[in-house]
Amino acid sequence: MKAKLTLVSLLIVMLLVVMPGCGAGGDAQNGGDDQGRYQDGEYTGSAQGYNSEIEVRVVVSGGEITEIEVLDHEESAGIADNALAQTGQRIIEAQDTEIELITGATATSRGIRDAVANALEGTEN
């Protein structure tokens, strides 16, 4: 019984010593700065909207999405305005393309979301 208790205690101590070094992070102990989720740069992508392909430009700085601009689209004026104005902002706030789509212009919102995802494909750190 005493041998089992000693063995368990030894294993717990070993885990406490080893586990802190297993975490992901960018502090100096782990070899550098935290790079963020994405590689810095400017990327373009496109995807199908309601009426046409939607083309976007995505800017990543400090590993984060900082800007999304719709470069080209043929979506319906008035109907698609909210999606064009809000989808990119939702992605920037979430730092992810998994967002709630804009009601009333779901296909346009989905097209913008998918175009951003296409632009960012392969850029994750």
**Residues 73, 67: contact at Cβ < 8 Å?**
no
Residue partners of 31: CB distance under 8 A and separation at least 6? none
The whole-number pLDDT of residue 24 equals 43
Please tell me the pTM assigned to this model: 0.73
pLDDT tens across the length of the chain (125 residues): 666 555 555 556 555 555 555 544 443 333 445 678 999 999 999 999 999 999 999 999 999 999 999 999 999 999 999 999 999 999 999 999 999 999 999 999 999 999 999 999 999 99
Domain range 41-120, its CATH number among 3.90.1010.20, 1.10.3210.10, 1.10.260.40, 3.40.50.300 = 3.90.1010.20
Strand ranges for the chain from DSSP E: 41-48, 53-61, 64-72
Q: Which two tokens stand for residue 61?
A: 């700085």
